Amino acid sequence: MSRVVAYIRVSTSHQDVDNQRYEINRYAERSGIQIDEVIGETASGYKTQLNDRKLSDVMADLEKGDTLIVSETSRISRRLMDILNTIQGLIDRGINVIAVKEGIVFKDDINSKVLAFAFGLAAEIERNLISARTREALAKKKADGVVLGRPLGSADPKNLKLYGKDEEYIALRMKRVPKAAIARMFDVNVETLRRYVLRQELDKEVLWKLHKKTTNF
């Protein structure tokens, strides 16, 4: 029989869990959901690795048809990619994820997959902002006379190893194939793939196609 498990996390022992518990219980009452188990822990969502937290054991015990409820997605992690990977991994296993404050129900359907992909795109943007700050620092070094290597994006796309694989990449991402797996298929480093995807704006194309597919239903 399907179970509903509520997960509560606080970063320090001084924080109050009552607010999270209240939000989850209120949602459950409004939605007619019976919570079978409430699991809580004290752990930093940023400093503590996901595999070292009780949440990893909770997820391992969940089965197809079960539901995990959190007060908000940040209770899963403070790292956007951890949130994305966790949610995607659960819905791929047929496990629903409810984020109360965001009002989102992730499940194994096209709408949830589009939303999860949007989370992934946001994570890509977050990484790109970090890269942008790195490039700004390199630009300053160059202005100060430091000799640097070739700037990102200066090469002719036709000379790149991934040139001509755009449509294949898009098709694979539409099937939810992870970028790490695609990189192995293309025999390139994951970061090389990410830079090429960013340069060619391929993820935007994937997101547009997923959205179009959703609106056609």
Q: Is the pLDDT of residue 180 over 90?
A: no
Question: What is the set of active-site residues?
Answer: 11
The residue that leads in pLDDT, 160 or 19, is 19
Residue 37 three-state SS? strand
Closest CA to 128 of 152, 161, 112: 152
Cα 88 to Cα 108: distance, rounded to the nearest angstrom:
9
Fold of 4-108: Rossmann fold (3.40.50)
Q: Which two tokens stand for residue 42?
A: 């004290």
Q: What is the pLDDT of residues 111-124, one digit of tens each?
A: 877 777 676 656 56
Whether 51 has a pLDDT exceeding 90, the answer reads: no
- Delimit the domains of the chain by residue range: 4-108, 111-215
* pTM, two decimal places: 0.54
Kindly report, residue by residue over 123-151, the tens digit of the pLDDT: 566 666 666 667 777 777 777 666 555 55
What rounded mean pLDDT belongs to the chain?
80
Radius of gyration of the chain measured on its C-alpha atoms = 21
pLDDT given at position 168:
92
